[in-house]
Structure 1
């Protein structure tokens, strides 16, 4: 299958079956989303959603973070990954938002990446989710699934390479949703260690399935036989 046909099939499938695709992080405004995404680095959305209600209750704005100290903030996020660094990032983020952006979350990737703890991936998430900008955040799910499907070259070595290839081929109006399509498919179906190919509804345009069809089917048949 040609790459253009894979992209067409990818967009048609998810536009039909997942027309509304959103982040699973819980938030009420751009500031809360920014904090949640910073905390979610190398951590699960489920864990972050357990932590943020109390955090947002007591630190609802950038001004509240800007006036907090380490010992005050750390207990709220001690259960997430790398809590020491993330506490420092949030404190610095609050101060910079107040000092340079009047307490508001900036709307460009260039401005966002100036903030402590905010890299290109986080900035792309914020701009695409809040303002529907055609930016593609590449996390581990997007990196893995886009390669398996055949949307990007297998020799793409960095998230930026994957981002550029996806942006090149996905129409602008779909990019902000395509990010979530790839993430959710990777989170629940196209798992890293053992993808659920027998349950997958897009194997008809998946390069990974094309190359491994026989092994996948043999394993599935063997598994089903073992259950009987």
Structure 2
């Protein structure tokens, strides 16, 4: 099973799907392809609404690729890796099309960041969330602005500090990360399709202007998320983190 990022257009809805055989973890090349695909889809006149989804029926996204984290040997490489997540979040933020998140399973670390960076997010009862970064010696620095913007600082702090706990989909819904939670993937897909096709019929100029309102006061994120990537890039070199990551080899 090979990793991939694809764009499939159906009735002016662009379905962006990513996949990695290791629980949809995100190595650099997948992150790069994902940010590029989001940007290109945003500029595609044949696309009116975007849906972000992942392959498989279990984990939505397991976050950073531990294999790649273990291989980082200097701060520059560390910053470059974590900038991959920054680039994806910024691509989602700057995309002129509304992005619907389709979260079919667990979201960990960067996966929570992706869900938070969508404009409207739907999930299943299996889509629990966890911010595990502190437990391995780093922190959710890059995704924090997106997550805090969606669920608030208090909930962000709760998830960050309780780093080994999976929070329920109901928690995510109560805090505003998910707009709704469904019993099955089929029900989720029906809801995503219905919403996307409804939005396609709305005034595209109004949708684009509304997206600008949603993301007001985030214009500095290009610099902010790069700075945050630098923090993570240094911490991943610490003795504590290196020793912790060895357990995942």
Rg comparison, structure with higher value: 1
Q: Under a length normalisation based on structure 2, what TM-score does the superposition of the two structures give?
A: 0.27
Which structure has more RCO (C-alpha within 8 Å, separation ≥ 6)?
Answer: 2
Report which of the two has the higher share of strand.
2
Report which of the two has the higher share of helix.
1
